């Protein structure tokens, strides 16, 4: 199933070609994000040096990141730094990553 195509069709007012009863769960997924924002300042950008960063790794993990340990984070960035997903056949697998 092409999820992007289905989302585009729904946005265009089309109906889904399948029903919820046709969908069978095949596993679980967990998405994690780290934001450089200050929750005490209405989530304004937080700047400074990234002192520690150990990216997740392992089977089933997809990581999208443009940061590295020691990097200077400025106010001229997308506040979402790394973003990763972990999927598995059971609900236990994603939480272990």
Helical (H) or strand (E) element with 4: helix 3-11
How far is the first Cα of the chain from the last one, in angstroms, to the nearest whole number? 26
Say if residues 47 and 38 touch (Cβ distance below 8 Å).
Answer: no
The pLDDT assigned to 93 comes to 52
Cα→Cα distances 21→3, 62, 75, Å: 17, 29, 47
Q: Label residues 46-56 b or e (16+ Cβ within 10 Å = b).
A: eeeebeeeeee
The pLDDT assigned to 7 comes to 92
**pTM of the full structure:** 0.60
Residue 51 has pLDDT above 90, yes or no: yes
The pLDDT assigned to 39 comes to 93
Q: Are strands 37-38 and 80-88 parallel, antiparallel or unpaired?
A: unpaired
The domain locations on the chain are 27-96
d(CA 55, CA 10) in angstroms, rounded, equals 35
The pLDDT assigned to 75 comes to 81
């Amino acid at each position: 199933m092409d999820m992007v195509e289905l989302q585009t069709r729904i946005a265009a007012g089309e109906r889904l070609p399948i029903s919820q009863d046709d969908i069978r769960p095949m596993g679980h997924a967990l998405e994690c994000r780290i934001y450089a924002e200050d929750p005490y300042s209405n989530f304004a950008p937080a700047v400074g040096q990234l002192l520690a960063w150990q990216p997740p790794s392992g089977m089933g993990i997809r990581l999208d990141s443009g940061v590295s340990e020691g990097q200077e984070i400025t106010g001229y960035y997308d506040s979402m730094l790394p973003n990763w997903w972990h999927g598995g056949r059971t609900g236990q697998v994603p939480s272990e990553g």
